[in-house]
Amino acid sequence: MKDLATTTQLVHAGERRDAPVGVPVSTPIYPSATYTYVSMAEMDKVFSGDAPDYIYSRYGNPTVAALQEALATVENGSFACAYASGMAALHAALFACELSLNSVVLASRDLYGASFDLLTKIFGAFGVKMQTADFSDLDALRQKALEVKPRVLLAETISNPLLKVCDIAACAEIAREVGARLIVDNTFATPYLCHPLDLGADFSVHSATKYLGGHADATGGIVIAKEEFDRPALVGVMKLVGGVLSVWEAHQILRGIKTLGLRLERQCQNAKTLAGHFSTHPQIKKVLYPGFSDKANLIKQVLRPPHAGALVTIILKDDTREAAFRFVDALKLCIRATSLGDIFTLVSHSATSSHRELSPKKRADLGISDGLVRISVGIEDIEDIIADIEQALSA
């Protein structure tokens, strides 16, 4: 290296050092896009799959692999595959279900809006059909499944913004009965509160942008698969569609999940206190919170007891868009923002954000009125959160 020109030294000096003998306590960030080997023979072995190792960033990355391994472990999957966003992850899970012309996906009717659009606009363009059902009415769901013979059932552990908890085990039974696969979007519940694969799902999907990252500073998604045989499809989407998780985001999310349990303990407790406090408030018509559901046994079976999630939805007594805007605009601590699952308390108005694309009639059919506001409860002191909401309600 000493004999080379300064320009060349600047490019190569210090690079490609041996890995340290000591094992790093936390996973390093490996931004390298490509890997070299001692010889072409070694490289040939790796490329042919005879020696497991890294080749190129779109095929796999050690930092991303650490996150994948962690989440597969926590949710008892055979393996996990990470992507650039929650939507990319859901796309991969749907692809793994081998959808083709006239395949039917039977989706929960209060699914996240972009998930509907993914089914109708992207998969729909290839002839995949979407049908919807109320997944909280199991008899109707079974009837519909028998009728439309879906290839996939697509559910969310906790629905948005009505916060209904899905009976995943019952949905898995229906899926088996009709020969369908079950995908559960577990974003709202997190791997701390729910393990969908243990309840019979084939795939658990997360927007890691939410609770997993937890700090509103990373975008990512992950699919955890129950069966090893789904690996080629999920890895294939990663390699060939190419929506891979960036190594920097993987590091943020890997760091995020280390405090997921601590954050969720606090956030769930805060949500419970908040829901209880506002349940009899004169300005509030209704508080939606899974802990108030009459299906206590189901909540216990799906979510880690004694928790009921960290989201609370309120419907204002003056159930209008003007009242909702006035309330949200008056907040001083809680943040007006879409998204959820962050350490900050985030407040969103569903009718003009996540469900904006729906017609007023469709929103009304779903029970999403103009005075409905969703609160993703953060880790702040609960007294401060309550005081802020109180002052905004009287504004």
Q: Smallest distance from the beta carbon of 142 to ligand PLP, in angstroms? A: 24
Name the active-site residue from 30, 83, 112, 289.
112
Q: Smallest distance from the beta carbon of 185 to ligand PLP, in angstroms? A: 5
Name the active-site residue from 185, 202, 342, 388.
185
d(CA 200, CA 226): 9
Q: Smallest distance from the beta carbon of 308 to ligand PLP, in angstroms? A: 17
Which residue has the closest beta carbon to ligand PLP? 86
Q: Smallest distance from the beta carbon of 115 to ligand PLP, in angstroms? A: 6
User: Which positions touch ligand PLP (CB under 6 A)?
Assistant: 85-87, 112, 114, 156, 160, 185, 187-188, 207, 209, 219, 221
Query: Among this protein's residues, is 185 annotated catalytic?
Result: yes
The residue among 377 and 382 lying less far from ligand PLP, judged by its C-beta, is 377
- Supply the Cα-derived Rg of the chain in whole angstroms: 23
Query: Among this protein's residues, is 112 annotated catalytic?
Result: yes
d(CA 395, CA 391): 6
Nearest 5 degrees, angle CA 287-CA 167-CA 73?
105
Nearest to 350 by CA among 167, 112, 70, 32: 112
Q: In whole angstroms, how far apart are CA 280 and each of 101, 275, 285, 314, 326?
A: 51, 9, 8, 11, 20
Q: Which residues pair with 219 in a beta bridge?
A: none
The residue among 221 and 256 lying less far from ligand PLP, judged by its C-beta, is 221
The residue among 156 and 370 lying less far from ligand PLP, judged by its C-beta, is 156
The residue among 156 and 167 lying less far from ligand PLP, judged by its C-beta, is 156
Q: Which residues pair with 221 in a beta bridge?
A: 83, 207
**Burial profile 137-169: b = 16 or more Cβ within 10 angstroms, e = fewer:** eeeebbebbeebebbbbbbbbbbbbbbbbbbbe
d(CA 370, CA 315): 8
Q: Smallest distance from the beta carbon of 205 to ligand PLP, in angstroms? A: 7
Q: Which residues pair with 293 in a beta bridge?
A: none
Q: Smallest distance from the beta carbon of 233 to ligand PLP, in angstroms? A: 19
Q: Which residues pair with 313 in a beta bridge?
A: 288, 374
DSSP 280: T
Name the active-site residue from 210, 266, 304, 363.
210
Name the active-site residue from 37, 45, 53, 58.
58
The residue among 114 and 162 lying less far from ligand PLP, judged by its C-beta, is 114
Helix (H, G, I), strand (E, B) or coil at 79: strand
Number of helices (H), then strands (E), belonging to the chain: the values are 15, 12
Contact 43, 37 (CB under 8 A): yes
Q: Smallest distance from the beta carbon of 188 to ligand PLP, in angstroms? A: 6
The residue among 68 and 219 lying less far from ligand PLP, judged by its C-beta, is 219
The residue among 96 and 393 lying less far from ligand PLP, judged by its C-beta, is 96
d(CA 260, CA 269): 14
Active site (catalytic) residues: 58, 112, 185, 210
